[in-house]
Chain A
Amino acid sequence: MRETPERSEAFAELALPLFDSLYNFACWLAQDRVEAEDLVQETYAKALGGYSSFEPGTNFRAWIFRILRNTFLNSRSERAATRTVAWEEDETAAAELGQITEETPESILLQQWNQEAIREAIGNLPVPFREVLLQADVEEMAYREISQALDIPVGTVMSRLARARKLLRTELQGRIVRA
């Protein structure tokens, strides 16, 4: 369907305010600014092209984040596909998280983490955990919104997020011990 000026204007009103968030998220996913720019540009192009399929009143942010994420995964399809399968299987391990007993006052050592250490640790997370963590904590998306953006059930959002945070805590506490 050819884009009318009215449709393009409606799209720009919704999409352009998300530019900074999309770019930041793309950089965190790709960990490369040039690739991130390509991702964002392609995301906007795809979103505008498919805007007629977007249902007004539904969650535009989740919709366009989903396009960006799928574009990213497609751009590195083979590796991503392999890893995604492995990580999906690993979801079952998340059920065991309920028995973790690391909640001690020593975990207050969190305060010692500097921002660079946290950024490195986030960057080292596998993509499925990195993206769910960023959407929950940085974009402050609700679980339902994340489930739409990542195209996974809410239960998987919860287990994946718990696992992401566990991985992050373990990594950061390991850094403190090593230091």
Chain B
Amino acid sequence: MACDLWRDKLDAFVDGELSAETQRGFDEHLRVCPSCAAGIATRTQLKIAVKRAALRRYAPSAQFRRKIEAQFLPEKRARRTAWIWLPAAGLAAAILLAAVWIARRPAAVSGAPTLSEIVDVHVAALASANPVDIVSTDLHTVKPWFEGKLPFAVNLPDLTNTPFSLLGGRIAYLNQKPGAGLLFQFRKHRLSVFVFQDSAQWKHLGPQDKPEQRASFWVETFRGSGLRYFVIGDTSAENVEQLSNLMKGASGAE
């Protein structure tokens, strides 16, 4: 029976461990075999469920992290000989600070419109009767919805044990560019995350250490893997930062 040939490859199929040729053969078989198709569905669901349940289930305390870093993160040699260069370094730092201050002035001015536009996009979405096009709390439903609609993939964080829940997603536009608009809920507040392909025009925004306030909203922006992220909400800087960190964790952004 054909199933005998394939049944012991169900796990390897789900784990992406089959050769391209075997994969094609298995795909053909799945079209005519409900039993193996059900086996694949079950295993896929289980694999996803295990990851959601177990990934980052246990997070190290900040104290333990500091302890490990103190123990295993070596001090730079430069730091050990820094005293030799202190006078010169002081002068260089002063020059550098002045240069940075001068360089950032136009950037700060030109950055303001972008963040203000993000506020507009967020407010427009909240004002809409249909703030999302795909309504789902399941990241595994929302993420695939963007496939084919955007030229990049959006990685979403596991929100288990966080105060946030996903409401859905939509296509958003900024400067005539399509991006992912994600709507999250925190208590009775709604926060948006917008993801666009990064562009030189946003270079001046840089990564922020803290959210900035714009028209009573808190906005944080960061970049990673060629994408630019904007996180916005009206709750607090801490909430926006927390959601930003979740997105950074899911996307590998800095």
Residues of A at the B interface (CB closer than 8 Å) are 5, 8-9, 11-12, 15-16, 19-20, 23-24, 27-28, 33, 36-37, 40-41, 44-45, 48, 97-99, 101, 103-105, 107-108, 110-111, 113, 115, 118-119, 122, 133-134, 136-138, 140, 142-143, 158, 161-162, 165, 168-169
Would you call B59 an interface residue if the criterion is a C-beta within 8 Å of the partner chain's C-beta atoms?
Answer: yes
Which of B72-80, B147-155, B169-177, B206-214 has 4 or more CB atoms under 8 Å from chain A?
Answer: B72-80
Q: Which residues of A contact B47 (CB under 8 A)?
A: 136-137
Question: Smallest CB–CB gap between B94 and chain A, Å?
Answer: 29
Contact of A138 among B43, B45, B54, B71 (CB under 8 A): B54
Residue of A nearest to B74 (CB): A8
Q: Known contacts A44-B68, A165-B43; is A107 also within 8 Å of B4 by CB?
A: no
Q: Known contacts A24-B55, A107-B42; is A19 also within 8 Å of B68 by CB?
A: yes
Q: Which residues of B contact A45 (CB under 8 A)?
A: 71
Q: Which residues of A contact B120 (CB under 8 A)?
A: none
Contact of A5 among B50, B67, B68, B77 (CB under 8 A): B77
Verify A103–B39 contact, CB threshold 8 A: yes
Verify B54–A28 contact, CB threshold 8 A: yes
Docked Cα-Cα span, A5 to B76, in Å, equals: 8
Name B's interface SS: helix
Verify A12–B57 contact, CB threshold 8 A: no
Which of B8-16, B108-116, B178-186, B216-224 has 4 or more CB atoms under 8 Å from chain A?
Answer: B8-16
Q: Known contacts A98-B7, A103-B35, A103-B42; is A12 also within 8 Å of B72 by CB?
A: yes
Q: Known contacts A23-B60, A134-B54; is A110 also within 8 Å of B42 by CB?
A: yes
Residues of B at the A interface (CB closer than 8 Å) are 4, 7-8, 11-12, 15, 17, 35-36, 38-39, 41-43, 45-47, 49-60, 64-65, 67-69, 71-74, 76-77, 160
Q: Which residues of B contact A165 (CB under 8 A)?
A: 11, 43, 46
Q: Known contacts A118-B53, A119-B53, A137-B51; is A107 also within 8 Å of B73 by CB?
A: no
Contact of A169 among B46, B71, B76 (CB under 8 A): B46
Sorted nearest first, the 8 A-B pairs with minimum C-beta distance are A27-B58, A103-B39, A118-B53, A8-B74, A107-B42, A137-B50, A98-B8, A110-B45
Question: Smallest CB–CB gap between A49 and chain B, Å?
Answer: 11
Question: Smallest CB–CB gap between A162 and chain B, Å?
Answer: 5
Q: Which residues of B contact A111 (CB under 8 A)?
A: 45
Residue of B nearest to A47 (CB): B72
Question: Smallest CB–CB gap between B63 and chain A, Å?
Answer: 10
Verify B38–A103 contact, CB threshold 8 A: yes
Q: Known contacts A40-B68, A98-B4, A165-B43; is A23 also within 8 Å of B73 by CB?
A: no
Residue of B nearest to A130 (CB): B54
A-B contact pairs, 13 of them (CB 8 A): A9-B76, A12-B74, A28-B57, A41-B68, A44-B72, A119-B53, A122-B53, A134-B50, A136-B47, A138-B51, A140-B51, A161-B15, A165-B11
Verify A105–B54 contact, CB threshold 8 A: no
Question: Smallest CB–CB gap between A96 and chain B, Å?
Answer: 10
Q: Which residues of B contact A140 (CB under 8 A)?
A: 51
Q: Which residues of B contact A36 (CB under 8 A)?
A: 58
Docked Cα-Cα span, A105 to B36, in Å, equals: 11
Q: Which residues of B contact A12 (CB under 8 A)?
A: 72-74
Verify B15–A122 contact, CB threshold 8 A: no
Question: Smallest CB–CB gap between B182 and chain A, Å?
Answer: 21
Docked Cα-Cα span, A103 to B7, in Å, equals: 10
